[in-house]
Chain A
């Protein structure tokens, strides 16, 4: 005999989940008095209604989310009671100044983008999914802002957190995060809000963002970030479902196939360029944990992006007649494993430390050993650089950005992803609107010149976005003294002289760099310089650039 429970005694017949979902989807209708505004058009044509893969209604959603929130905020309280910050690694938290300056904007952009996808397809089956995603992204954006405020209130050096959204709009590094976030909300609605956001960014790359990175946080004594971000990640499966369902509806129209191929190529490559640059650096260079048994970023990339996404998500699309750009996936993998993409980005961030708004500590012998173990050959290429960095971290030394003794050559900026062209031999130069531009790779040139255009392979694409604005950050301060640029950026502490960024983790005024230490160096725009060269000089410059540079031995 079964045991009686309160539930069994009080249970009454209710509506089934399937019925509830069907009835909620039937709330929509085809307007007959006034057509719905297509404020955000697309070149895709979707005539088949996408199906709702999640079968959840708002009634259960809100209480589920509240419960998740309670756990997150409870954990933050517990972390303070447990004195988490006494044991946290500042090397790690400093990078959170950059990460958490960037991420709330892409998150809220994803919320905004639900306005764009929700009218693309007939039927309202996905409306609940879009609603939940809209509110989820609002959750992510504000929960991340809250986490950042919490770090600011409790971490040893709050400078940088305290100017976070201002810094986001100004910094030479956050520009890549803006490219990422704006990519969700501008241009062709399907390209941006479905393909770039849900089909690629959320499906392929949130695992490295929101799973791999929190693991590293925990290894550095920070268990607040994992609590918040694993909770964020638990919402992603809904979003992945929305994107997949809408893309499958688009797939049913053969005329969309060319656009899907274009967007998969653009979105995969640019997500790789941006997310791997940022998250790869945080994980590999923001950690103090050098356990050789843990996975490197490259190994995690292989698991999450190659095995999970490429093999189980992208490849099956071939059976629907979609051409998958296998070579691009291989290229991205080789950039990470053979061409040291992440390490070159980490190096670039370090070179640019005076125009950052966080501290970057030098890598040490312990780090060198781990890097060499995980990435054989690393020491030969990067060991001396980090020794130089440590040596030049004391105020009064000539700032590394301008120090010829080091041998580093400041890179050109990719006009497409806005990540610098750090793999020098891959850089290409192309013309766009009659002007020269630099691109980190041929696929980046293709993205800017061929994909973001009003025609693609003979097909008109009037809804496609355009790259615009002052895309190369360096042009903003071309010819400006470094100290004046830092003042203009407001990356100065409130004493009016001490820099927010510091190339070390020494928390003592006597060790801190001030404006006086960096004055006398003039910033330049590599792009303006390139455009100003005559043809022969330019040719020679590009050949030289492709050869790369050699870091001088540091003794």
Chain B
């Protein structure tokens, strides 16, 4: 078959030479580097902006007159919201590849661990600790995932919202990974109570500070405050403290190689989300026009959410004494967490 509607008998590139017959790059945005990345090509400007190309402005508004996306959905300000590019360069294909690989890895760890009877070798106190406290923690991850799902509606550009969306996807995957992990090892452990985690989350004093911090983030209307509070404050002060400072450190010492493997994926997730968040916040704190007021704003967010996160972390302290084998003390883990938090704030020119 030969193309019939073409004057040159082909629809292929190069079949004819004429004006712009070799214009084979998107030419409506400035790439961050010399050449646009694949991520930029499939992301930039998909969410339009009346200040760029949306010449009719938003054509449906909320009853208060606000359009689909407005700069005042956050208190932060920017001279150029479009400057941000997510360092993880995530688009759909890379997202599915990564998530899928993690799920395969997690399921293999659980299946092979169960086959070898690894869960039966857990120290008894460790098993109880997982049942109640890892069981409680899954709700924290879920709450943060829900908050981020809310936040991905609000950003002024596609790049901001997509980075928030993938962050939400990672959190919600983790919450389900933990849920199913506990349910599956619980099938093999006599007397396992799969409801203990949720009861602990809702009622145990050790978890009420964490729940308050998470609910505060969930109740925040400013999308950027949610994104900031999760990645720059809650995660280093509570998330990593519990995941890296407790679960990852204590697992092996209590005959458990599965839990650290399941949780390790989350630490990988966080490194990516943190890089995205730091890059965005850095741009805003170094904005020529609005940098100073953004720093004041972010400082207030850091104070508000770190007060809650500090309280949450302190309340978690007793968990460090539950297992029989205690390779790291709470204070040691907390010191690492504090140092990490200070470093993160320093990256974006903020301080404790």
Chain A interface residues (CB < 8 Å from chain B)? 10, 12-15, 19-20, 23-24, 26-29, 31-37, 39-40, 57-60, 62-63, 65-66, 69, 73, 83, 85-91, 93, 104-105, 108-109, 111-116, 118-119, 127-128, 130-131, 134-135, 138-139, 141-143, 145-146, 149, 152-159, 162-170, 175, 178-179, 182-183, 185-187, 221, 288, 361, 418, 454, 462-471, 473, 476, 493-495, 498, 500, 505-509, 511-512
Contact = CB atoms under 8 A, between A and B. Distances in A.
Interface string B41-68: 1111111110011111111111101011
B339 interface: no
B231 interface: no
A32 B219 CA distance: 11
Interface in B215-259: 215-216, 218-221
Contacts of B58: 182, 186, 468-469
Contact of B107 (A59, A163, A169): A59
Interface in B1-50: 1-8, 10-16, 18-29, 38, 41-49
Contacts of A154: 12-13
15 contacts: A14-B184, A59-B107, A62-B100, A69-B93, A69-B96, A114-B153, A145-B43, A146-B38, A163-B26, A165-B48, A166-B52, A168-B53, A186-B62, A221-B3, A454-B63
Nearest to A162: B23
Nearest to B12: A85
Interface of B: 1-8, 10-16, 18-29, 38, 41-49, 52-63, 65, 67-68, 91-93, 95-97, 99-100, 102-104, 106-107, 111, 114-115, 138-139, 142, 145-146, 149-154, 158, 161-162, 165-166, 168-169, 172-173, 175-177, 179-180, 183-184, 187, 194, 198, 201-202, 211-212, 215-216, 218-221
B139 A470 contact: no
A507 B139 contact: no
A177 to B, nearest CB: 11
Contact of A361 (B5, B14, B46, B152): B5
B289 to A, nearest CB: 25
List the 10 closest A-B pairs by CB distance, nearest first: A169-B53, A115-B153, A34-B219, A145-B42, A166-B28, A469-B57, A85-B12, A66-B100, A165-B45, A507-B16
A112 B100 contact: no
Contact of B11 (A12, A93, A139, A464): A93
B13 A512 contact: no
B165 A134 contact: yes
B8 A507 contact: yes
Most chain A CB neighbours (cut-off 10 Å) among B20, B58, B99, B183: B20
Nearest to A92: B5
B11 A186 contact: no
Contacts of B154: 39, 115
A23 B172 contact: no
A167 to B, nearest CB: 8
A83 B142 CA distance: 47
Nearest to B161: A112
Nearest to B142: A27
B3 to A, nearest CB: 6
Given A15-B184, A59-B176, A178-B56, A506 B7 contact: yes
Contacts of B142: 27-28
Contacts of A156: 6, 8, 10-16, 21
Name the residue in B15, B65, B153, B215 with the highest tally of chain A Cβ atoms < 10 Å from its Cβ.
B153
Contacts of B211: 33
Contacts of A127: 146, 172
B10 A63 contact: no
B16 to A, nearest CB: 4
Contacts of A142: 42-43, 91-93
Contact of B152 (A35, A88, A134, A466): A134
